């Protein structure tokens, strides 16, 4: 069964600290993996997208890694800010095609305290 | 900021009412999608469209219906709302296929059926 599991479910950190969120998946065949940020009451916004051949991608203070062999990805946030408080969602696509589908994780709820 | 809009943002209605959730995008995207999201849970695809006059049901069974008469407009209708329909509804669009391209999400409509 294709699944996407994220950990931790929730995380609280102090402003300025770094953190790492995890995503494990069993989706096969694999096409790409995306990380989205979803602020409370808003729609998700794309942070990064990685294909099979990419093992790291950065977007400002966000750095995503991908290990396609172990089917794991992480999202590292550097020097956290209060505005980083949100849910971070891992989304995995099966083999890219018009008929392909997306598998969503339940997200990690990050709270950054001052 | 993605140019995709949803109205209303919040809606509280009584059981049995007919409602239409509006979604419009100004990016000229052919592909549009409706997702349902409950708190702390993953997004579930309920409808999608690959272009005008094209609509398909998604992975999650839904009693709602959709239409795509214009490229920029993808409304979702519930003929007779029930408390089980209480949820957040997210509209998205993309220029590529479901699993190949980044989706841009609207802010969502939070529906409560009493």
* Inter-chain residue contact B99 with A97, CB threshold 8 Å: yes
Average pLDDT, chain A: 92
- State residue A65's pLDDT score: 97
Q: What is the mean pLDDT of residues A13-33?
A: 94
Judged on CB neighbours under 10 Å (0-12, 13-18, 19+), A84 is buried
* Inter-chain residue contact A102 with B98, CB threshold 8 Å: yes
Which chain A residues are within 8 Å of B90, Cβ to Cβ? Answer: 43-44
Does the beta carbon of A55 lie under 8 angstroms from any beta carbon of chain B?
A: no
Per the rule left: phi > 0, alpha: psi between -120 and 50, beta: everything else, B23 is: beta
Provide the shortest C-alpha distance from residue B74 to chain A (in Å): 16
- State residue B60's pLDDT score: 79
Does the beta carbon of A45 lie under 8 angstroms from any beta carbon of chain B?
A: yes
Tens of pLDDT, residue by residue over A56-100, are: 999 999 999 999 999 999 999 999 999 999 999 999 988 755 556
- State residue B1's pLDDT score: 55
**Does the pLDDT of residue A2 top 90, yes or no?**
no
- State residue A90's pLDDT score: 97
- State residue B103's pLDDT score: 87
- State residue A112's pLDDT score: 98
- State residue A4's pLDDT score: 95
Torsion from C-alpha of A76, A78, A83, A88, nearest 10 degrees: 0
Q: Are A52 and A28 spatial neighbours (Cβ–Cβ below 8 Å)? A: no
Q: Which helix (H) or strand (E) holds A72?
A: strand A72-77
* Tokens found for residue B80: 């007779």
Tens of pLDDT, residue by residue over B65-101, are: 999 999 999 999 999 999 999 999 999 998 876 566 7
Distance CA(A107)–CA(A23), nearest Å, equals: 9
pLDDT classification of A102: cutoffs 50, 70, 90: confident
Q: Are A106 and B44 spatial neighbours (Cβ–Cβ below 8 Å)? A: no
- State residue A96's pLDDT score: 57
Provide the shortest C-alpha distance from residue B16 to chain A (in Å): 26
Tens of pLDDT, residue by residue over A38-54, are: 999 889 999 999 988 88
- Using CB atoms, pick whichever of B40, B42, B50 lies closest to residue A104: B42
B1, B91, B98: best to mutate for the A interface, most A CBs within 10 A? B98
Sign of CA dihedral B56, B62, B66, B71: negative
Closest CA to A73 of A62, A84, A81, A85: A62
Tens of pLDDT, residue by residue over B33-69, are: 999 999 889 999 999 998 999 999 987 778 899 999 9
């Amino acid at each position: 069964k294709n699944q996407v599991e994220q950990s931790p479910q929730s995380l609280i950190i102090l402003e300025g600290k770094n953190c790492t969120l995890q995503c494990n998946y069993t989706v096969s065949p694999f096409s790409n993996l995306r990380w989205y940020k979803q602020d409370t009451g808003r729609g998700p916004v794309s942070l990064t997208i990685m294909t099979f051949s990419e093992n790291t991608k950065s977007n400002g203070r966000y750095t995503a890694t991908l290990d396609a062999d172990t089917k794991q990805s992480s999202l590292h946030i550097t020097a956290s800010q209060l505005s980083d408080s949100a849910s971070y969602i891992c989304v995995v696509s099966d083999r890219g095609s018009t008929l392909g589908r997306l598998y969503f994780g339940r997200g990690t709820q990050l709270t950054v305290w001052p | 900021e993605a140019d995709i809009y949803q109205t209303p943002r919040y809606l509280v209605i009584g059981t049995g009412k007919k409602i239409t959730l509006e979604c419009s995008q100004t990016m000229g995207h052919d592909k549009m999608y409706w997702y349902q999201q409950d708190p702390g849970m993953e997004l579930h695809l309920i409808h999608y469209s690959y272009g005008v006059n094209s609509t398909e049901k998604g992975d999650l069974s839904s009693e709602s219906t959709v239409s795509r008469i214009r490229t920029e407009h993808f409304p979702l209708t519930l003929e007779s709302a029930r408390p089980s329909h209480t949820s957040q509804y997210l509209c998205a669009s993309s220029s590529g296929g479901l699993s190949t391209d980044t989706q841009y999400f609207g802010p969502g409509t939070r529906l409560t059926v009493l």
